[in-house]
Amino acid sequence: MSAEGDGSKRRQTVAILTNVAHISAPFLTVFLVVHLSAPALANVGGSSLSSNVMLLGREYYQTAFGERYLLFTPLAAHVASSIAKRIITPRSASPRKITSTHSLAAYSTLLIFLPIHFYTHRVFPADPSPPIFEVGPSEVDYEFVKTGLARFPWRSWVLYGGLVASVMLHAVEGAQIIQASRFASQKFRMRSRTCKIVAAAAVVPVLAGLWTVSREPLMVFASLAERYEAVFTRSWVYRI
């Protein structure tokens, strides 16, 4: 195959991967809006409202269909297409360096914050063995979050803050990339500094809500609090 033909095929593949990354992004955005509404609403209704909103939101993203096809499949498609695109795109033609804020936010989320959050809040609570005894989904509410903030304050704040900040920064800059690619005729485009300001503005109500939750007294039986702590300490991060 000629160099021109090989280049044309590579450009087509890159275009397909770009479409996959862009199409999967709205599904993840909906999940983020639903998931992060719960802590943000603690500013007006405390942990009780946050728990109710979180349990309601799980009807969208934690059902057999919703979790598989509205969350995990779009997430896998987004990650796989983005990584594959970076691998096959020549370094000289890559629009962003791996050290860009957009890329760093993505990789810190994917490799650090998201795995810890997922295992701590979803996988470890399902352990049926003692001392956890399978903390059910209805029990993993904002009393669970409150317990983590009370028992492991600096680790919880670093992990929650890092996750929310990384996700928001990647989402805001990603929205700009999609806008520039899909709606090139529109002249409006935020600068990198403005993207960071918008991301920070979105982070503030979420972390402020967590702060509100952390100031409340624990409203959980001692036996359940011990099971909560056992869940957290299953993760190496909380054993440091």
- The whole-model pTM stands at 0.93
In this prediction, residue 5 carries a pLDDT of 62
Q: Of 240, 239, 227, give the one whose Cα is nearest residue 127.
A: 227
In this prediction, residue 100 carries a pLDDT of 92
In this prediction, residue 26 carries a pLDDT of 96
Cα-Cα-Cα-Cα dihedral of 119, 196, 190, 86, to 10°? Answer: -50
Is it true that the peptide bond before 128 is cis, omega within 30 degrees of 0? no
- What is the amino acid identity at position 151? R
In this prediction, residue 229 carries a pLDDT of 97
In this prediction, residue 169 carries a pLDDT of 96
State the first-to-last Cα distance of the chain, in angstroms, to the nearest integer. 55
Q: Of 50, 55, 24, 30, give the one whose Cα is nearest residue 39.
A: 50
Per-residue pLDDT of the chain (240 residues; tens, 9 = 90+): 555 566 688 889 999 999 999 999 999 999 999 999 999 999 999 999 999 999 999 988 888 899 999 999 999 999 999 999 988 887 766 667 888 999 999 999 999 999 999 999 999 999 999 999 999 999 999 999 999 999 999 999 999 999 999 999 999 999 998 988 777 666 667 787 899 999 999 999 999 999 999 999 999 999 999 999 999 999 999 998
